[in-house]
Amino acid sequence: MRAHLADGTAIEADVAVTALGAVRNTEWLAGSGLSFDAGGVDCDVDGHALEVDGQPDLAIAAAGDVARFPHPLYGRRRIAVEHWGHAVAQGVHAGRMLAGDKPDRSYAALPAFWSGQAGVTIKSVGLTDGADSMTIAHGDTAAGRFLALYGRAGRCIAAVSVDCGRWLPAYAALIAENAPFPPKGAATDRAGPLKILASGLT
């Protein structure tokens, strides 16, 4: 197989991975006075768009893929969560806020998505980036049914299930409460202690 590139060159390849849909259309905001780039619009924790001086514009909110906001569960790192459910939930939060509703607390929904790929159901909660360790908490990778739990600096940050989504809500609760990793007393089908592995994601 050969990939022909726009510059006229070609690359021999055994496998081609196609990626699409990750480019934000932010160019129309040029001259708006808002802080943005090709990676998204900078927002405060509630989704108010920030002006270039870093001050929130209380009349403008962003939600979904385009909104980069300091997520309370992830050290207030400014991130954009690219999941369908998040776009809906953050849009509802932004809409209520702009309508004058005062939310009890900042938007902090746990990132979550599921996807069906080649007959396999993959479900994920939290964000795996920055993980320094992981463990297979349920199932068996060789059998293709398992749940991997990810840790960072001794805290649970994400879980990914492959055809094993039944257990995911319990781990979502641990991640939402920033529980210690490895979890103490968590339900698992392991006979002995959990085996801690390198995450491969650092």
Q: Binding to ligand FAD by residue 47, rule CB under 6 A?
A: no
Minimum distance from CB of 67 to ligand FAD (Å)?
8
Q: Is 9 in the site for ligand FAD (CB under 6 A)?
A: no
Query: If binding is defined by CB under 6 A, does position 65 make contact with ligand FAD?
Result: yes
Nearby residues of 13 by Cβ (< 8 Å), 6 or more positions away: 1, 2, 3
What's the rounded Cα separation, in Å, for the pair 137 and 166? 12
Of the ranges 18-26, 39-47, 127-135, 193-201, which one interacts with ligand FAD (CB under 6 A)?
A: 18-26
**Number of residues binding to ligand FAD, judged by CB under 6 A:** 14
CA distances, 154 to each of 54, 67, 177, 180, 182 (Å): 32, 29, 13, 6, 7
Task: Pick the closer one to ligand FAD by CB: 115 or 141.
Answer: 115
User: For residue 112, what are the CA distances in angstroms to 53, 58, 198?
Assistant: 32, 27, 23
- Does residue 40 interact with ligand FAD by CB under 6 A? no
CB atoms within 10 A of CB 188: 19
- Binding region for ligand FAD (CB under 6 A) out of 31-39, 40-48, 83-91, 165-173: 83-91
Distance CA 155, CA 70 (A): 19
Stretch that binds ligand FAD, among 40-48, 78-86, 95-103, 135-143 (CB under 6 A): 78-86
Q: Of 52, 88, 46, 38, which is closest to residue 69 (Cα–Cα)? A: 46
| In the complex, minimum distance from the CB of residue 21 to ligand FAD, in angstroms, rounded to a whole number | 2
Interface ranges with ligand FAD (CB under 6 A): 20-21, 25, 28, 64-66, 82-85, 87, 113, 115
